[in-house]
Amino acid sequence: MELLKCTGFLDAMTLLNSAESDCYAEFYLTQLPQAANLKSALALHYANYLKENDIVLRDGAAGDAWSIDTLEIPAPSTMLDATCRKWFFCSEHMTSTPSGTHRANIISHFLDELKQAVGAATTHRVYITPPCWYAIDWDEIAFEREDRRYLLHFSHSN
C-alpha cells in the first residue's frame, strides 16, 4: 500500500511540474525485478523499460553498452531531501510554490511515505556511463533490503 501512496504522490508532482511548461517530467518509484544483485536488477529494469516504451538504442541494451554503477549513501536523509527539493520544484510553474515551511512539508510528507514503502533499506545513488539515457537530466536512487529492491527515478526532457 505504501508503494501505491508514493506512486500517487510522484504522479501528482510529475503533473504539477509538467503543467504550464515545455518540460516533460517523469517521477516514479518502482520495485526492481528479482536478480542476483542490485546492478543486475537495474540492468533488467532498464532493458524492460526500453522494451515497454519502444525505445531503440543505437549503442545496445542496458548492461551491454552501459556501465551501471552504484554508490551506497550511508546517511541518505540530506541527499534525499536535496534531490526532492530539486525535482519537486524544478519547473517554472512550481517555482511559485512558497519556499520555507510549505516546501519542507511537501518533501517531509513524501520522505515519510518513501520510508514506509522501502523499509529499512540501504540507499544507493545510481550512475550510468556513458550517460545515454533518454532525458536531458535525471537522478536515480536505488533502495535495497534483503528481500526487495526499488528504484526512485526523477527526470525531465523537452
> Does the model's pTM come out above 0.75?
yes
| Residue spans per domain, the chain | 2-157
For the segment 46-103, what is each residue's pLDDT rounded down to a tens digit? 888 777 766 565 555 554 556 889 999 998 999 999 999 888 887 777 776 767 888 8
Segment 123-156, tens digit of pLDDT = 999 998 755 555 678 899 999 998 899 999 998 8
Q: Which of 36, 3, 31, 21 is nearest to 156 (CA)?
A: 21
Region 2-157: CATH code:
3.40.1000
- Burial class from Cβ neighbours inside 10 Å (0-12, 13-18, 19+) for residue 61 reads middle
Q: By the 8 A CB rule, do 124 and 139 touch?
A: no
The CA distance from 97 to 102, in Å, is 8
